[in-house]
Structure 1
Amino acid sequence: MNKKILYILTSLLFFSTAIQAQPIIESKVDTTAIKIGGNIHYTITALADKGTRVHFPENNQLGAFEITQSYPTDTIVKNGKVELVKSYDLTNFDEGAYTLPQLPIIVDASVFKTDSIKINVLGVQVDTLKTPLYDIKGISYNQASFSTYWYYIIFVILSLAIGLALYLFIKYRQEKNLTEDDKYKTPYEKAVKKLKKLEEKKNWTRGDAKPYYSEMSIIVRNFLEDTFDISAREMTTHEIMMLLKNTLNIKKIKLKPEVVKEFKRILETSDLVKFAKSQPSENEIIGDTNKIQSIIDNLNEAYPISAATQTERIRLREERKKRRMRFRIWVPVGVSVVLMLITAIGYYFTSAGEREYNLFTFNKTKRLLEKEWITSTYGSNPGITISTPTVLVRKNETVLQEAKFEGLESIQQFKFNTLEDPFCIMLNNSITKKEFKAKEKDIIANAIKMITQNYKVTDIEYDTSDYDNANGVVGTIIEGHFKIEIVNSGKIEEKLFEGVLTQYGENRSLIFGFYQNNDELGSELLQRVFESIQYNSEN
């Protein structure tokens, strides 16, 4: 008996020791309910003997939850045991009830599992009456990318740069190939600058005054020839003086006799230097240079060159100058304009999808019909889907909220243009409550009142009839007319309007289109809008 008891006690001690040797695995979360995209802090704790090898999950996903952060394992030593702590941040972007599954924890060669945990992922409720909403954005086309616009901007800049470079090149070539006459504005400027350059050379310092006097004589003769249109370069000094005196008398030019006398003396001195090898002193050469300059000044003052007195030679030179300037300016400008025109044509055809309408169509309604239409969904629960020439813009008008029927949960309005514009589309989308009891005729009358009360509208008349389209949408169609006074011009115009009232569950939608009385395409455009009406039951 004692042996049997001893055996039982020994067995109990063995199993107790074995149980105590088993590692302890625990798991917990900081919350069991999050909103979509919120974080859960998930912690797994393993308590085991020292030297035990523990392996935690290292996946990107734990069941239906995505791991956004995996923290390093913390190790804590307690009473001869090792506590290993592994933490994760988890998230989920789909609303619903999920279970964080049992996860395998490998301890040495054994596998242990954590407990499963239920997590609720909650949706975000949006109150459209209190939360500010923004206008629906227009359709973005591939051609409308900003990087594409940069190409055209670069092409324009390059066109201007090519034009500028061409202008500078032509100017350089023209100035390089200028004739002697084309380099100076007047004979006086030409003579003065040439005399100054001659004086700076000081040829006489080499003991020979002949080159200096020869060049000075040529400068003066050219001045006489350019100014009075006489062939002075081929004449002797005597002939020049006789012709000069005769020209002064004919043209009635008043020049002091001493100036003419001094001019003759210098020309004679020049002849002596050139042909008789006379050698004046340096002071005489400088003096003659100054006197020649003074003579040219006196001749220019007595007979200044103007449009009436210019010679044929000067006139031809001025014409050549104007032709050069025109060529220098208009060729670069023409090249730049052609390049920019090519760029504009390229932009026109590559951005065809962005244009609001055909530029060659002058009827505004026809433009809207011919352009590419846009299909959008407006409102919620589930919202109404229609096709329009352009995206309707949300309008949060105070009067719209104040005038709504009892039993309406919310009402939203979307517009394209206003009643004063040639064409206008308005959409009212309402969400009703169970206690909503208004009749269709009351809804239509109230809507027309709200739309027109901010304008000077009179003589409103309309009729209603049943409506259905190819998408299976049924409702009531409204057709009518009224007169409106345009505020800026004071002009009174007659407008036609058509509308459709539809219902889908708690959603009531009223679409109106307004156009001018003489617009033959307005009704066609609206019929296209009405035929596109549909509700997306998947929303």
Structure 2
Amino acid sequence: MPNRLSSINNQMNFKLYILFLFTTTLFAQKVSTSIDHPKKKIGAEFQLTLKTSVRKNDKVIFPKAKNFGPLEVIESYPVDSIKTNDRVDLVKKYGLTQFDSGTYVIPRMLVLINGKPEYSDSIKVEVNDVKVDTLRQKMYDIKNIIPVATESPWGFYLLLLLGALGLGGLGYWLYKKYMPQKREEETITYKTPIEKATSLLQQLERKELIQRGEVKSYYSELTQIARNYIEEEIQIPAMESTTSELIVALRTVARQKKLKLTNETLENLEKVLQKADLVKFAKEKPLDFEIEEDKKRITSTIVTIHKALPEEVEDTDALEAWNAQQQEALRLLQLKKAKQKKRITQIRLVFAVLVLALSTLVYAKGFDYVKDAIFGNEAKALLEGEWILSDYGNPSITIETPEVLQRIDATKNVPKETYAILKEMQMFEFGDLNHALYIAVSTKKFKETTDINFDTVLEGFTKNWEQKGAQNILFKQETYNTTKGVSGVKAFGTMTVLNKENNSSQKMYYELLLFKQDGGLQQIMVAHREGDAFGKKILERVINSVELKISQQ
């Protein structure tokens, strides 16, 4: 009996061991899901964390998407790894946001572990609107824009386009100025109408209109050659006459000038002209052998008319004069071509030098240097100018800026109800959010002791920016200490600012410092166009110069 019990226990232990291994393997591949906070304000960042524990050689693929359900992915952070014995904990974080208030669900996300699908848990988050006390905070007009030196907003591609257009325009202008039309240069002078007609017939065959199926164009040119020859040789209005009118006129002239034109010749010409009319207006499609026959009839008609004309005594002197005239015209044309070729070579050389000089300058100094040199850069001029170190407000803020900040009337920028609880408020600014650089400093002191909440202050800034035309405001928040150890909060991020005057927009990067001391609030904000290297250097220099002084009671 004890042996039997021992056997049963061994079997149960074995099954439990197998179950333990299976469970361990199962949970080793499970994806854990967490969120830094389930409730955030509009535009704030939710930080979603996916974590899985795998073996060292396992292959894990985390999701890649621009949106996780209704939330937008604004940042995909690098994967962190934590090694423990023979296993690795992989941690993947995502920054998510949403610009509409409401309750949303981050859906289950697919994670591939060695090609096998695993899913994260779904998480519900809440996006809260910014609450505004309409009884205490009324709407007020946007303050007037402070005029500053304007900077061209054109970027890299516009500069390339303008450069190409400028050089291309110069080349085209020089080409048009010094290069006559090719058609004018290559005008062919024919000695006799028969020579012209014969040459045009040969050119018509080289066009291969029949081979391309352009029968209508072929017949149109063929009959035009015949009509033009008859008009020039016999002086009758063949181009404006109908087929019947032309045949009647030919018969009349043949009788008057006693030309040997048989009825067969005139009938052949009439047949071709009539067929051409049918092809042009009735869309008739003659066969290949018919087209060949019509060409022979036109050629034969032209030759017959030429032979029927009375022979003229050749004027040797006139012929020599005509040949001399043609030779002189040919010499002048060749001389003109040589001059034009020389000018074209000069133009190409100048164009090549300009392109080479511009390319060398861009390579040596960089594209931004060339762009700034041509169009100017307001931020660059401010950075390289003389800076001013000044104190502003109470409690005072010591700050270095490229220009002196101008005092702003606080009563026009703060609701009366809010201003009523203030003992003192001072505001100073340079520029605005629609230009290359914006710097603002303000200090507030309250009549009564007030618990200042930085989150509430940031909400107020967000609403104020939106009233000034800002959209898609993103920010992050962290603690900040000055060089003398004064502690505060730093908020930074981007926003898109709309200019209502010209219906344009630009993306700005900003940093905002908040401090509370001596019963008051001190604020410093610097913003510049995103991607502007000079604006970034200005921001860093201004922020690093900030120091606070405690006012004397």
What is the TM-score with the length of structure 2 in the denominator? 0.30
* RCO higher in structure (CA 8 A, sep ≥6): 2
Larger-Rg structure:
1
